[in-house]
C-alpha cells in the first residue's frame, strides 16, 4: 500500500464514521475523554490519588485531577499527548494551567505533581516570633506597635507581643472601618490592621505556613477547588490592599495622625465597654467615626 | 418474548441519535484534516474545547449511571394472574 492508498483508506474510514451516529458518538468520547474508554468507570472514580503517588504515576494523577476538576485542561492535555508531547511536559502543562486559572500555587509541592497532598494554599500570616520577619516588614511592625503591641527580646532575638487589649482595639478599628468598605482607602487601612493582627477572616492571610499545615488540606474535588480559588483570590486582593494601607500609614502624615487619634479613641472605648461587658456587642456601640479620606487628601494637596 | 418486536425496543429505536457539540466539532475537524484519525484540538477555540469536554464528561457519566441503574433493576413480571382476587 502506498501513501496515497493509505490516505484514501483513512479518508473513507472518516467518511464512514461521520455517517454512522453510534461510531461518531463513540469516537467523540474517545477523542475528548479517553480515560472513560481506557479504564473501568468504577476504578476511574474510586482510585485514590495516593495510589498514583506511591506508584510514581505523575501523569496519571495529573490527568485524573484535570478530568475531575478541569475538563478543559484535561481535553487539551489529551490533545497534547496525541500531538507527541512527553508525559513530563504534559504534566507541567496541567500544573501551570491550574495555577493560571485558579491561582493555586502548584509549585508549592515539594515534589512535582504530588496531588495526593491535597490542594496547596499560600499562607501569608505574620510571623511575629521570627526576627527576620520583623526586620523585613518594617511597615507592618510599625503598625503593630501603633496598635499597642510591644517589642520584646526573647533568647537574643526580637519578638512582637500582642496583648488582648491590642486585639480589642484592632477589632473596634476594623469594625468601624467596615462601615466604609466601599471606600478603597478605608478598606486598605482595615485590611492592613487585619493583616497585622491576623484577623481578616481569610485563612490564607491570617495563618502562617506552620499554622496552615495543622489543618487537613482541601481535596481535589470541584467544590473544594472552587472554595480554594475563592480563598486565594480574596487573599491576593487583601494582601495587595493591605500593602497599600501600610504605605499610606507610613507615607501620609495626615492619615497616620488620624489613625493614631482613632487608636486612642478605641483605647477609651475598650475601657468603657469592658466595664459594661459590651465589647463584642453591636458595632454601633463603638461610636468610632472616620472622616472621608478624599477630603483630607484635597486639604493636603491644597496646602502644598 | 421477542425483544425486537417489543414496544420498549421500538420506542428506544425511535430516539434520535444524541448530537453533542463535540461530535459536530469532530466531524468538522475530520473533514478538514482527513489524514488524522483523531484530529488536533489546537485549531479549536479554547472556550469551545472546555464546553465540549464538560459536555462529553457529563454524557459519559450519565451513561455509566444509567447502565448501573439498569443492572440493578429487579425483574418485573409482564403479566400477573392472581386468581384469589380475580385479577388478570
Residues A196, A90 share a domain? no
Residues A250, A136 share a domain? yes
Query: Is-contact A296 A255, C-beta < 8 A?
Result: yes
Residue B36 with chain A: CB contacts under 8 Å: 10
Residues A265, A152 share a domain? yes
Cell of A93: 502543562
Residues A284, A137 share a domain? yes
Nearest to A189 by CA among A260, A124, A295, A286: A260
Task: Provide long-range contacts, Cβ within 8 A and 24+ apart, for B60-68.
Answer: B60/A29, B60/A33, B60/A36, B60/A41, B64/A36, B64/A41
Q: How many domains does chain A have?
A: 2
Residues A142, A112 share a domain? no
Q: How far apart, in whole angstroms, are the C-alpha atoms of residue B6 and residue A279?
A: 76
Q: Cβ of B64 under 8 Å from any chain A Cβ?
A: yes
> For the segment B46-69, what is each residue's pLDDT rounded down to a tens digit?
889 889 989 998 888 888 888 888
Residues A263, A141 share a domain? yes
Is B34's CB within 8 Å of A74's CB? Answer: no
Residue B30 with chain A: CB contacts under 8 Å: 14, 17-18
Q: What is the mean pLDDT of chain B?
A: 82
Cα B44–chain centre separation: 25
Nearest residue, CB atoms, B41 vs list A18, A41, A79? A79
What pLDDT score was predicted for residue A40? 63
Is B49's CB within 8 Å of A76's CB? Answer: yes
Nearest residue, CB atoms, A75 vs list B17, B34, B49? B49
What pLDDT score was predicted for residue A5? 84
Digit-by-digit pLDDT tens for chain A (304 residues) are 788 888 788 778 777 878 888 888 888 888 888 887 766 666 666 667 888 777 777 888 899 899 989 988 998 898 888 888 899 999 999 999 999 999 999 888 777 778 888 999 999 999 998 878 888 999 999 999 999 999 888 777 888 889 999 999 999 999 889 888 888 899 999 999 999 999 999 999 999 999 998 989 999 999 999 999 999 999 999 999 999 999 999 998 989 999 999 999 999 888 887 766 655 655 556 777 787 766 444 444 444 3
Residues A215, A73 share a domain? no
Nearest to B21 by CA among A62, A37, A75: A75
Cell of A135: 526586620
> For the segment B30-39, what is each residue's pLDDT rounded down to a tens digit?
877 666 678 8
Is A82's CB within 8 Å of B40's CB? Answer: yes
CA distance B76 to chain A (A): 27
Please report the number of interchain residue pairs, chain A to chain B, with beta-carbon separation below 8 angstroms.
83
- The answer as to whether A229 is a domain residue is yes
Domain C-terminal end among A91, A117, A143: A117
What pLDDT score was predicted for residue B67? 85
Provide the strand spans (E) within chain A. Answer: 150-154, 157-161
H/E stretch holding A29 reads helix A21-32
Is A74's CB within 8 Å of B53's CB? Answer: yes
Dihedral sign, CA of B3, B9, B13, B16? negative
Q: Cβ of B34 under 8 Å from any chain A Cβ?
A: yes
Residue of chain B with shortest Cα separation from A30: B38
Residue A76 with chain B: CB contacts under 8 Å: 41, 46, 49
Query: Is-contact A67 A35, C-beta < 8 A?
Result: yes
Residues A288, A184 share a domain? yes
Residues A143, A101 share a domain? no
Q: Which residues contact A173 (CB under 8 A, 6 or more apart)?
A: A147, A189, A190, A193, A262, A263, A266, A288
- CA distances (Å), B71 to each of A166, B13, B64, B68, B78, in order? 65, 20, 10, 5, 18
Q: Which domain holds residue A84?
A: 33-117
Place of cell 481535553: A75
Residues A191, A223 share a domain? yes
Residue A67 with chain B: CB contacts under 8 Å: 57
Single pTM value for the model: 0.77
Please write down the HEC assignment for all residues of A119-156: CCCCCCCCCCCCHHHHHHCHHHHHHHHHHCCEEEEECC
What pLDDT score was predicted for residue A298? 44
Residues A291, A155 share a domain? yes
Residue A33 with chain B: CB contacts under 8 Å: 53, 56-57, 60
SS3 A64: helix
Nearest residue, CB atoms, A14 vs list B22, B23, B30? B30
What pLDDT score was predicted for residue A295? 44
Place of cell 430516539: B15
Is A75's CB within 8 Å of B41's CB? Answer: yes
Residues A46, A135 share a domain? no
DSSP-assigned states of every residue in A155-221:
TTEEEEE--HHHHHHHHHHHHHHHTTTTSHHHHHHHHHHHHHTT-SS-HHHHS-HHHHTTSPPPPSS
Nearest to A215 by CA among A130, A121, A129: A121
H/E stretch holding A63 reads helix A58-69
ipTM above 0.85, yes or no: no
Cα B13–chain centre separation: 11
Nearest to A32 by CA among B84, B50, B33: B50
Domain C-terminal end among A53, A87, A117: A117
Query: Is-contact A132 A146, C-beta < 8 A?
Result: no
Residue A22 with chain B: CB contacts under 8 Å: 17
Residue B23 with chain A: CB contacts under 8 Å: 24-25, 28
In B, residues 69-88, which contact A (CB 8 Å cutoff)? none
Domain C-terminal end among A117, A150, A175: A117
Q: Which residues contact A105 (CB under 8 A, 6 or more apart)?
A: A99, A120, A121, A122
Amino acid at each position: 500500500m502506498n501513501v496515497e492508498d493509505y490516505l484514501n483508506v483513512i479518508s473513507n474510514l472518516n467518511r464512514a464514521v461521520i455517517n454512522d451516529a453510534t461510531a461518531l458518538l463513540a469516537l467523540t468520547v474517545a477523542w475528548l475523554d479517553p480515560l472513560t474508554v481506557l479504564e473501568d468507570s468504577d476504578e476511574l472514580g474510586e482510585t485514590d490519588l495516593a495510589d498514583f503517588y506511591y506508584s510514581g504515576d505523575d501523569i496519571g494523577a495529573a490527568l485524573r485531577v484535570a478530568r475531575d476538576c478541569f475538563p478543559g485542561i484535561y481535553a487539551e492535555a489529551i490533545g497534547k499527548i496525541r500531538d507527541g508531547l512527553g508525559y513530563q511536559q504534559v504534566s507541567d502543562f496541567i500544573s501551570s494551567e491550574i495555577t493560571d486559572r485558579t491561582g493555586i500555587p502548584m509549585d508549592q509541592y515539594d515534589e512535582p505533581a504530588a496531588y495526593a497532598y491535597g490542594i496547596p494554599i499560600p499562607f501569608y500570616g505574620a510571623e511575629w516570633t521570627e526576627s527576620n520577619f520583623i526586620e523585613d516588614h518594617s511597615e507592618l511592625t510599625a503598625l503593630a506597635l501603633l496598635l499597642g503591641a510591644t517589642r520584646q527580646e526573647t533568647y537574643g532575638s526580637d519578638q512582637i507581643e500582642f496583648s488582648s487589649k491590642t486585639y480589642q482595639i484592632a477589632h473596634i478599628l476594623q469594625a468601624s472601618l467596615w462601615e466604609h468598605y466601599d471606600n478603597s482607602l478605608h478598606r486598605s487601612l482595615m485590611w492592613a490592621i487585619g493583616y497585622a493582627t491576623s484577623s481578616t477572616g481569610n485563612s490564607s492571610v491570617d495563618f502562617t505556613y506552620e499554622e496552615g499545615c495543622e489543618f487537613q488540606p482541601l481535596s481535589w474535588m470541584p467544590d473544594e477547588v472552587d472554595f480554594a480559588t475563592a480563598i486565594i483570590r480574596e487573599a491576593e486582593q487583601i494582601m495587595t490592599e493591605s500593602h497599600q494601607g501600610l504605605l499610606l500609614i507610613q507615607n501620609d502624615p495626615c492619615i497616620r495622625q488620624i489613625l493614631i487619634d482613632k487608636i486612642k479613641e478605641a483605647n477609651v472605648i475598650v475601657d468603657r465597654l469592658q466595664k459594661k461587658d459590651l465589647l463584642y456587642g453591636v458595632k454601633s456601640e463603638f461610636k468610632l467615626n472616620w472622616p472621608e479620606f478624599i477630603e483630607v487628601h484635597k486639604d493636603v494637596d491644597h496646602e502644598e | 418474548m421477542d425483544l425486537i418486536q417489543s414496544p420498549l425496543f421500538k420506542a428506544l429505536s425511535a430516539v434520535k441519535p444524541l448530537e453533542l457539540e463535540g461530535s459536530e466539532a469532530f466531524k468538522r475537524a475530520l473533514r478538514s484534516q482527513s489524514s488524522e484519525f483523531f484530529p488536533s484540538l489546537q485549531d479549536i477555540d479554547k472556550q469551545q474545547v472546555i464546553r465540549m469536554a464538560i459536555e462529553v464528561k457529563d454524557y459519559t457519566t450519565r451513561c455509566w449511571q444509567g447502565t448501573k441503574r439498569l443492572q440493578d433493576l429487579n425483574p418485573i413480571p409482564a403479566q400477573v394472574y392472581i386468581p384469589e382476587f380475580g385479577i388478570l
